[in-house]
Amino acid sequence: MQLKQGIEVHLKVNGEYLPESAAETGECPAGVATKVSAYVEATSGCTFSVDLRFRSFFHHRRDDIDCRVFVDGQRTESSVASPRKHKHTIIEGSRSSTGGRWVLRRFMFADLHTST
């Protein structure tokens, strides 16, 4: 998904971008996108990552960007991206400290449960 500020955000499974549909963008009063929501077709049990790319026309290269990942409405990870250092950032999962060690819990599509 290409945002007008020069940022691209995609979900990847097995190194491939997932097709997106019904994207929604939340904007601040100045018309700048502050959040993006999109729907993807998911396969239960597949791990995925959030792929963030800064295009050459991104105007805020000197600023760090706070990236917050929400899954099913719950914040799962926050990461700071530095476009002046890296044109590409990948967020693979949620990090937490357990017993003095940092652990990465990879993002994974869960089983879909429906009721009739």
* 2 belongs to a structural domain: no
Q: Is residue 14 part of a domain?
A: yes
Q: Say what the pLDDT of residue 84 is.
A: 66
- Answer yes or no: is pLDDT of 64 > 80: no
| Domain-embedded: residue 113 | no
> Residue 71: CB partners within 8 Å, gap ≥ 6?
107
1 falls within a domain: no
Please say if the pLDDT value at position 29 is more than 70. Answer: no
115 in helix, strand or coil?
coil
pLDDT in the model for residue 28: 54
pTM to 2 decimals?
0.70
Q: What digits encode the pLDDT tens for the residues 69-98? A: 877 777 887 777 776 676 778 888 888 888
Nearest Cα to 39, choosing from 109, 92, 86?
Answer: 109
Residue 115 within any structural domain of the chain: no
Name the residue among 64, 81, 103 with its Cα closest to residue 9: 81
Number of domains in the chain: 1
Domain that holds residue 54: 7-107
